[in-house]
Amino acid sequence: MLMISYYAPPMLNAESILVAKTLKFLSQTFDVELLTVSRDSDFKEDPYLIEEMGEGTKVRRFRNPKPQSRVLRKIYREVMNRFSMVDNPLWLGKALQAVERLPDAYDVIYSRSQPGASHIAALSAKKKLGIPWIAQFSDPWGHNPYHPYHGRRKAVIERYESEVIELADHLIFPTVEMRDLYASVYPKLKVKQRSTVLPHHFDQALYGEGQPEKQDESKISLAYIGDFYGLRSPEPLLKALTELRERRPDLVERLQLDVIGNVERTFHGQLEDAEKRLGMRVNRVGQVPYRTSLVRMAQADLLLLVDAPSDVNLFLSSKLIDYFGARRPILGITSTKGTAGRLIAECGWNVHHPDDVAGISLALERYLGELTEYQERARHLELVDRYRSETVVGELAGLFEKLGNKKRN
C-alpha cells in the first residue's frame, strides 16, 4: 500500500493521531509505505505516536520549511497564500517529485486529508500507477463551511477536489452529512455509490487496565479535551453553569473544570472570570501528549463535547470517539442534527445545541445528581464497542482487499 498523508506521527494533532491508530492495525495486513512531512513547526510533537503507529510501516518524509517564530510563521502563511493556490506548496512539490519516481510495486493507494495536498499527491500517483485508490476525508476540503476559500484560490482548490472525487475508486467520509454534502456538490460523480461512511475509532489498549485514580477526590471533575478557537467557544457551558449556580450553588462550588487543549487568547478572560464569579476551580491545562489526554479522560467524572453552533453538524470529532473508549458519561454541547449528536444520543447521553443554555444547565444538574448511576452505565455500555480500532480499521482493510483483488483479476 502506498499511503499519502501530510499529517502523521510524531506530529500532535487529531489527524496525526488517527493516522497512528489506523496504521497500527492496517500494517498488520499490508506492507505500507507512507509519504508524509518531516516536521511542521505549527504543531508540537508526541514521540509516543511513533510507538502507537508500530514498526511495520516504511516512512518517507519530506521537509516543509517554516519559521520557528509564531510571528514569522503568520507572515509566512500570508505570503504563501498570496503566491500559491494550494496549501503546503513546498511539501507538495517534493512529494510530487517522489511520486514521479515511484516503482510499479504497489497494489493500492490510500490518501487522507486534511490538508488537501495529500490528495493532490495521491491524484498524481493514481495517474502514474493506474492502481485502485481510496481517498478519505476527515473534514471537507474545498467546501468547509468554517474555512471557505475565495476567488482564484477557491476555483483552483475546487478543480483539484472535483478531480480527486472523480478519479478515486472509493471515497470514505466520517459522517453521512459530509458524504451528502459532496454528493450534492458533485451530483454527476455518483459519490454515494462509490463511498463508505466510516467513523473514527479508539484503541482500547491505550487506556490501561482498571480505573485511573482522580487527582482530587474532593472535586467533581468536568473535562473538555480539545481546543477553544473561532466559533468553538466555552461561552454556552459557562452560561449554563451560571444558571445552575443560581439554583444549586452547593453543586457548582464542588466542581472543577479542566480544559485540556489550546485556548485562543480571546477566551482566556471568560475562563478566568468564570472561576472568580462561580466559585469553582477552572484549570486551563493546555495541550498534552495523546496518551496523557486519554488518562485525563478516564479520570474525569463527566466528559464534555463542545462544538461550534450550527444547524446541522457535518463533522465528527475524533475526541468524541476517544471519549467512548474512556467509558465515562458524556454531555454533548453540539447540534442535535448530525452524526456527533446522534451517536451521543444513541448511547443514552444528553445532547443540547450550544444555544440551548437552559437545556445544558438542566442536563448538568441531572448528571451531577445521578453521577454514580451515570458512571456505572458508562462502564458497561457495549454499544461503543463498534468504534474500536479493530472493528473500524478491519472494515477499511476489507475495502482495500476488495479493490486489490479487482486489480489482480
Buried/exposed 198-227: b ≥16 CB within 10 Å, e otherwise: bbbbbbbebbeeeebeeeeeebbbbbbbbb
Q: d(Cα 17, Cα 53) in Å, to the nearest integer? A: 9
What pLDDT is stored for residue 63 in this prediction? 93
Percent of the chain at pLDDT exceeding 90: 82
pLDDT-derived band at 55 (thresholds 50, 70, 90) equals: confident
C-beta separation of 323 from 223 below 8 A: no
Q: Is the pLDDT of residue 297 over 70?
A: yes
The boundaries of every CATH 3.40.50.2000 domain in the chain are 2-201+388-408, 205-386
What average pLDDT does this structure show over 220-238?
A: 95
Neighbour count for residue 68 (Cβ, 10 Å): 7
Residue 89: its H or E element? helix 89-100
pLDDT tens readout for residues 137-188: 999 998 888 788 888 889 999 999 999 999 999 999 999 999 999 999 999 9
Question: Residue 214 pLDDT > 80, yes or no?
Answer: no
Q: For residue 136, what pLDDT band results from cuts at 50, 70 and 90?
A: very high
Average pLDDT over residues 124-149: 92
How many alpha carbons fall within 13 Å on the CB side of residue 39? 8
Low-confidence winner among 84-98, 210-224, 226-240 (lowest mean pLDDT): 210-224
pLDDT (tens digit per residue) in 317-335 = 999 999 999 999 999 999 9
Mean pLDDT lowest among 160-164, 197-201, 279-283: 279-283
Query: pTM of the predicted model, to two decimals?
Result: 0.93
Strand partners, 255: 220
pLDDT at 404: 75
Question: What phi and psi, each to the nearest 5 degrees, are found at residue 221?
Answer: -95, 125
Q: Which CATH class is domain 205-386?
A: alpha beta
Across 79-83, 171-175, 252-256, the highest mean pLDDT is recorded for: 171-175
Residue 143: predicted pLDDT: 87
CA distance 375 to 395: 30
Instruction: Kindly indicate whether the domain formed by 2-201+388-408 is annotated with CATH number 3.30.70.20.
Output: no
Q: Confidence class of residue 212 from pLDDT cuts 50, 70 and 90?
A: low
**Residue 141 · residue 162 · CB < 8 Å:** no
Q: What mean pLDDT comes out for the span 340-364?
A: 96
User: Residue 210 has what pLDDT?
Assistant: 58
Indicate the DSSP class of residue 232: B
